[in-house]
Amino acid sequence: MTLQVDKPLLDPYDYDFHEDPYPYYQRLRDEAPLYRNEELGFWALSRHADVHQGFRNSTTLSNRFGVSLDPASRGPHASKTMSFLAMDDPAHLRLRTLVSKGFTPRRIRELEPRVTEIATRHLDTMLEKAASGTVDYVDEFAGKLPMDVISELMGVPDPDRAEVRAWADGVMHRDEGVTDVPAAAIEASLNLIVYYQAMVAERRKKPTDDLTTALLEAEIDGDRLTDDEVLGFMFLMVIAGNETTTKLLANAAFWGHRNPDQLTSVYADPARVPLWVEETLRYDTSSQILARTVSGDLTLYDTTIPDGDVLLLLPGSGHRDERVFDKPDDFIIGRDIGSKLLSFGSGAHFCLGAHLARMEARVALTELFGRIKGYQVDEANSVRVHSSNVRGFAHLPMTLEVS
């Protein structure tokens, strides 16, 4: 069953859709579980079972042209900035395995004390400013911490981190009505690449105890990562590891504000912070839309999707599917989610940084709640990010009650 209407049910560039995609998703799940948008040239799957199966079908649904709908991000060049996320096996497996030699769970565990220090430093500044009124939670905390953690991991010196963070923000910005990557984002991408190139060259000459050096030294049976492959992974970390975690932190704060009864148990017991994180990942996930390219013919809902067509997987919709979750439109901290979570994908391309994102969010929110006894979001002055695939806030002003 496919549905086409005069006004598209799904336009990932539409600002109204960005403000609240969930009614659109509901219609898609009910009326067009396989949806076709002729104007923008894509298909979309919205039901949980279909999205989950789509993630696991890495043969027929290819990543080799990238995972974004944006034309400038799609194509055979996608792996230059999206690393193994924009590859299929065997190239994907080779690169992912090599990267995993450096990007280990142990390295992430050992990073936690530094993440706590970075979070505390930004919290100190935010709480100081909050003493005299409203403070922007994204500007002061959620937007700074993830990129600083990635910089810490990579070995970016402290004095350079603000500039690197600004470039990373520039990479993701989209203007209203523009369905492609704007010139400013391309310039920001080039600045990041040039910076990281210099860093890689420096580590080649003078190794240090950071992830950049670990990637350069990773080796399996004589096979090593090239400089370009290391650069590609560093860029992937900026895009996939930075933006999505910033959005997760802000979305958690926003929905906690909207559902204060759910936060009562978190204030009482900070050990419940991870449950708050998981429900945020389900209820309003950062990563809403991921593209795949059909490789060979694919038949779904009695419709054959031609080879080479773009198919969008909508985890944000799958998480609100009443076929899988009870009361999916209610924010309930502690609900049973488990393996039904789609935020980090599934199968061969399951997010390598899932453990880092969860650790950062747990540390950040635990530290925050150790310092405050309440907060209020200024919804009228909150500003959403406008992106074709991630969902969250560019600005989230709030007042804080300090403990």
CATH 1.10.630.10 fits 15-371, yes or no: yes
* pLDDT top residue among 13 and 292: 292
- 246's tokens: 């910033």
* Of 116, 119, 393, residue with least CA distance to 257: 393
Q: Which segments within 99-170 are labelled E, that is strand?
A: 135-136
Whether the per-residue pLDDT at 5 is higher than 70: the answer is no
SS (H, E, C) 280-297: HHHHCCCECCEEEEECCC
pLDDT in tens, 13-33: 898 999 999 999 999 999 999
The CA distances from residue 298 to 29, 34, 57, 85, 309, in Å, are 19, 12, 11, 21, 10
pLDDT of residue 226: 95
> How far is C-alpha 304 from the geometric centre of its chain's CA atoms?
31
For residues 32, 247, 85, 324, the Cα torsion angle rounded to the nearest 10 degrees is -40
pLDDT of residue 180: 65
- DSSP helix/strand/coil, 119: helix
Confidence tier at 241 by pLDDT (50, 70, 90): confident
Q: What does 216-241 look like in DSSP terms, one character per residue?
A: HH-EETTEE--HHHHHHHHHHIIIII
Whether the per-residue pLDDT at 392 is higher than 50: the answer is yes
* Of 218, 219, 233, residue with least CA distance to 150: 233
- 61's tokens: 């649904």
Q: What is the DSSP letter of 44?
A: E
- 369's tokens: 């709640």
pLDDT of residue 328: 98
- DSSP helix/strand/coil, 306: coil
pLDDT in tens, 310-341: 999 999 999 999 999 999 999 999 999 999 99
Count of CB atoms situated within 10 Å of the CB of 111: 19
* Distance from C-alpha of 182 to C-alpha of 111, rounded to nearest angstrom: 35
Residue-wise burial string across 304-318, b where 16 or more C-beta atoms lie within 10 A, e elsewhere? ebeeeebbbbbbbbb
Radius of gyration of the chain (CA): 21
pLDDT of residue 178: 60
* Distance from C-alpha of 347 to C-alpha of 73, rounded to nearest angstrom: 23
- Return the minimum-mean-pLDDT range out of 40-49, 315-324, 380-389: 380-389
Confidence tier at 173 by pLDDT (50, 70, 90): low
- Return the minimum-mean-pLDDT range out of 9-18, 271-280, 375-384: 9-18
* Distance from C-alpha of 184 to C-alpha of 195, rounded to nearest angstrom: 17
* Distance from C-alpha of 69 to C-alpha of 180, rounded to nearest angstrom: 9
